[in-house]
Structure 1
Amino acid sequence: MEFGKVQEDEILSVNFSLPNDGSITSKILEKSEENKKVKFYVGCGTWGQKSWTKHLYNKGTKTSDFLKMYLTQFNSIELNAMFYSLPDRDRVIGWKKLAIENSKSNFLFCPRLPQLISHVLKLEDVNEIFQNFVDVVSNFGDNLGASFLQLGIFGPERLHILQDFVETVPSGFKLFVEVRSPEWFSNEKVKEEYFSVLSRNNIGAVITDTSGRRDLIHMNLTIPECFIRFVGNGGKYVESDFRRIDDWVIRIQEWVNRGIEKVYFFVHEHGERNTPILANYVIQQFNALLEANLPELTFIEK
């Protein structure tokens, strides 16, 4: 994931501290049911890179087998492939079958809405296309997690269009939204209206932690669940990535104590080579401090 990438000589000057919770977070969590068992999902934004065959997948693993191998290691995936092309019903059923056969737990696919909806038509006249998306991903059944809508060139002047769209989301269909235009976060009134629209319609707000766009760490939970997209810098900055993850675990622990019900934490890295290493660290910390009880990844011994 290249979004938010900064030049290497700028990384050390980035303030990676997490801001305080947004104003709506306390209101949402105080309505949540306390002492409810929290569900944790950790995954990546792809089910494989060729570089992973050097430390996570067996050498010589075919790209066609990456999903099968991924399913044996993780319990969820940020399914970005659907952004580019919506598969047919049979393909989704095939993925679900692989998940049932190979996953150690109830694996969740978290599909990204197609670019035709978000980037081409920008949510206008998309009812039929969106319903087709819902129909297709519904074939995941119990293996369907939250879907997410990522909006790029889509500013606050289109809030009414976003509101019209989220009002069409079927009851029980879990959706999170990520907006990227800086104007959503530079004005407090606009920000408040945006999160209010999501909350009223039971829609989640994606939180993206990336070096070059610190405004996207808005810390507003509009439902008692979080969907975090963490983008590491990797390389010689991996220790910094670990410290950032530590901060996230502390914050999520606070949310757990206040009633959050589900945590999605998807790990990215520029180039994605060492994403599994970061993801495994997340799993280890979730297990140690949050009692997540997630299986750790199994790496190939060198």
Structure 2
Amino acid sequence: MRLHVGCAMWTHRSWQGRLIAHPLPAHERLRHYAGWCDAVEGNTTFYATPARETVATWARQTGPDFRFVLKLPKVVTHERRLVDAEGPLRVFLDAIEPLGTRVHALWLQLPGSFTPSDVPVLADFLRRLPEAHRYAVEVRHPAFFTDPRATRLLEEALAPSGTEWIPFDTTAFFRRPPTSEAEREAWGKKPRMPLRSVALTDRPVVRYLGRDAETETVEGWRHWVETTADWLREGRSPTVFVHTPDNADAPLLARRFHDEVRVRLPHLAALPEPIPVGPLTLF
């Protein structure tokens, strides 16, 4: 029984010297983050495929149980829209090979313009993916959440390959107007996604967006604490990513989420102990 938690990144300016030692060379930052959380979203891979040598440093900084949920490059999902994308996909798969089993899932974040009529393209793409990896899909067109026929169509397309459906829960964030600069910026960028909490596989993945105010973030995730505890009782192994508009306290919040689930399931494996943060230095 294992719950993994994490953030949208492993380095953030506001964490430096407060949660994670500073200064740190780039090849040490992930190791220090991994003392706080045991999973991370690989959002940077959406914009560019990293060098294989860079990925090898990620493997050296994390233990074998650490989880990466890596986003497929946008050239595959957004530019070529899953068609004739074998070349860039092959390059990406070769680059991430050093991570081995740390790759928990490859994440297809599809654009809002991807509609139920495009599902056959997705189904064909999934059929041709290598079986060495597990996959997860995030959709943003509202019909997938509001039209039962569209929901069923997508679930049927995901089933043969054992692909998970990642919900991005923004309901708590959009519950009231923004009150900070970070919230105002996120207000115009984040999708207004309906709540979905159905797991299709034994390894569900959740993305949760709270608020800058800790109390509102915690109140908004109550549903996920109970759902996650239920999944664990069913023998599933979930991964939950906690976001806030400024992400200043995201590692702390991710650990608090884990603690709240562990109150309900005391035998749940504990998170690692953070690496101590040394005093700030000018040299």
Q: TM-score range by the shorter chain?
A: 0.7 to 0.9
The equivalent of 1:80 in structure 2 is 43
What corresponds to 2:248 in structure 1? 273
- Structure-to-structure mapping, 1:19-34, within 5 angstroms: none
Return the offset for 1:79: 1.0
Q: Which residue of 1 aligns with 2:178?
A: none
The TM-score with structure 1 as length reference comes to 0.78
- Cα distance, 1:245 vs structure 2: 2.7
Q: Report the Cα distance in structure 1 between the residues aligned to 2:134 and 2:194, rounded to whole angstroms.
A: 21
Residue 125 of structure 1: aligned partner: 84
Q: Structure 2 matches for 1:1-302, cutoff 5 A?
A: 38-61=1-24, 65-100=28-63, 106-152=65-111, 153-210=113-170, 211-212=173-174, 215-235=193-213, 238-260=214-236, 262-290=237-265, 291-295=267-271, 298=274
Report the CA distance between 1:296 and its aligned residue.
5.8
TM-score by length of 2: 0.83
Structure 1, unaligned stretches of length 5 or more?
1-37
Gaps of 5+ in 2: 175-190
* Distance in 1 of aligned mates of 2:222 and 2:273: 18
Whether the 8 Å CA contact 2:36–2:251 is kept in 1: the answer is no
**What is the CA distance between 1:254 and its match in structure 2?**
1.8
**Partner SS state of residue 230, structure 1:** strand
1:65-112 superposed Cα distances (whole Å, 9 cap, x missing partner): 422321232211111111111012221112111224xxxx62222211
Counterparts in 2 of 1:40 and 1:231: CA distance versus 1, 3 Å: same
Letter of the 1:269 counterpart: T
Q: Assess, with a 3 A threshold, how the Cα gap between structure 1 residues 62 and 271 changes in structure 2: closer, same or farther.
A: farther
**8 Å contact 1:174–1:203 — kept in the other structure?**
yes
Rounded to whole Å, the distance in 2 between the matches of 1:240 and 1:94 is 37
Inter-partner Cα distance in structure 2 for 1:117 and 1:292 = 37
CA contact (8 A) 1:55 1:301 kept: no
CA distance in 1, matches of 2:133, 2:101: 12
State the percentage of identical aligned residues.
23
Partner of 1:19: none
RMSD: 2.2
